[in-house]
Chains A and B, each alone.
Chain A
Amino acid sequence: MALSIIESCVNCWACEPLCPSKAIYEAKPHFLIDASKCTECEGDFADAQCATICPIEGAILDNLGAAINLPGSLTGIPPEKMATAMAEIQAR
Chain B
Amino acid sequence: MELTVINDDQATESKGGCSAGSCGSTDDQMSQLPEHIREKVHNHPCYSEDAHHHFARMHVAVAPACNIQCHYCNRKYDCANESRPGVVSELLTPDQAVKKTMAVAATIPQMTVLGIAGPGDPLANPERTFDTFRQLSEKAPDIKLCVSTNGLTLPDCVDELAKHNIDHVTITINTVDPEIGAKIYPWIFWNNRRIRGKKGAKILIEQQQKGLQMLIDRGILVKVNSVLIPGVNDEHLQEVSKVVKSKGAFLHNVMPLIAEAEHGTFYGVMGQRSPSSAELQTLQDACAGDMNMMRHCRQCRADAVGLLGEDRGDEFTMDKIENMDIDYAAAMEMRKKVHDGIAQELAEQEAQKKEKAQANIVQLEGFTEKTYRPVLMAVATSGGGVINQHFGHAREFLVYEASSEGVRFIGHRRADQYCGGDDTCGDGETVLQKTIRSLEGCEVVLCSKVGYEPWAQLEEAGILPNNDYPMEPIEDACSAYYQTLIESGKLDEANTQQEASA
Residues of A within 8 A of B (CB): 10-14, 16-18, 45-47, 49, 52-53, 55-56, 74-77, 85-86, 89-92
Contact = CB atoms under 8 A, between A and B. Distances in A.
A69 to B, nearest CB: 9
Contacts of A90: 270-273
A89 B189 contact: no
B194 A55 contact: no
Interface residues of B, number: 31
A92 B120 contact: no
A45 B76 CA distance: 27
Contact of B120 (A12, A18, A75, A89): A12
Contact of B65 (A14, A56, A74, A92): A14
B196 A76 contact: yes
Given A12-B66, A12-B77, A55-B75, 12 more contacts: A13-B65, A14-B64, A14-B66, A14-B75, A14-B189, A16-B65, A49-B192, A53-B67, A76-B186, A89-B231, A89-B271, A92-B231
A20 B197 CA distance: 27
Contacts of A16: 65
Interface string B272-304: 110000000000000000000000000000000
Given A45-B192, A75-B266, A92 B230 contact: yes
Interface in B27-75: 64-67, 69, 71, 75
A12 B75 contact: yes
Given A14-B67, A49-B192, A76 B197 contact: yes
Nearest to A55: B75
Contact of B76 (A10, A14, A85): A10
A12 B271 contact: no
Nearest to A53: B189
A43 B177 CA distance: 36
Contacts of A47: 192-194
Interface of B: 64-67, 69, 71, 75-77, 91, 120, 124-125, 127, 186-187, 189, 192-194, 196-197, 230-232, 266-267, 270-273
B230 A52 contact: no
Interface of A is mostly: loop
B56 to A, nearest CB: 28
A68 to B, nearest CB: 11
A11 B75 CA distance: 9
Nearest to A44: B192
A12 B118 CA distance: 11
Given A12-B64, A85-B270, A86-B270, A74 B193 contact: no
A16 B125 CA distance: 11
A52 B200 CA distance: 14
A82 to B, nearest CB: 8
A16 to B, nearest CB: 8
A55 B69 contact: yes
Contacts of A18: 192
Contacts of A11: 64
Nearest to A20: B192
Contact of A13 (B120, B192, B232, B267): B120
A38 B187 CA distance: 25
A52 B230 CA distance: 30
A56 B270 CA distance: 17
A92 B270 CA distance: 11
A86 B272 CA distance: 8
B35 to A, nearest CB: 42
A76 B194 contact: no
A13 B64 CA distance: 6
A13 B71 CA distance: 19
A52 B193 contact: yes
Interchain residue pairs A-B with the least CB separation, the first 9: A92-B231, A76-B186, A13-B64, A14-B65, A55-B75, A10-B76, A90-B271, A53-B189, A89-B270
A70 B252 CA distance: 38
Contact of A52 (B76, B194, B231): B194
Contacts of A14: 64-67, 75, 120, 124, 189
| Among A13, A45, A77: residue with most chain B CB under 10 A | A13
Contacts of B232: 92
23 contacts: A11-B64, A12-B66, A12-B120, A13-B64, A14-B67, A46-B192, A47-B193, A52-B189, A52-B194, A53-B65, A53-B189, A74-B266, A76-B186, A76-B196, A76-B197, A77-B186, A86-B271, A89-B267, A89-B272, A90-B270, A90-B271, A90-B273, A92-B272
A45 B120 CA distance: 24
B125 to A, nearest CB: 8
Contacts of A17: 65, 125, 127
Contacts of B230: 92
Given A46-B193, A47-B192, A74 B271 contact: no
Nearest to A41: B192
Contact of B186 (A13, A46, A56, A74): A74
A24 to B, nearest CB: 12
Nearest to B195: A52
| Among A14, A18, A56: residue with most chain B CB under 10 A | A14
A90 B274 CA distance: 11
B193 A12 contact: no
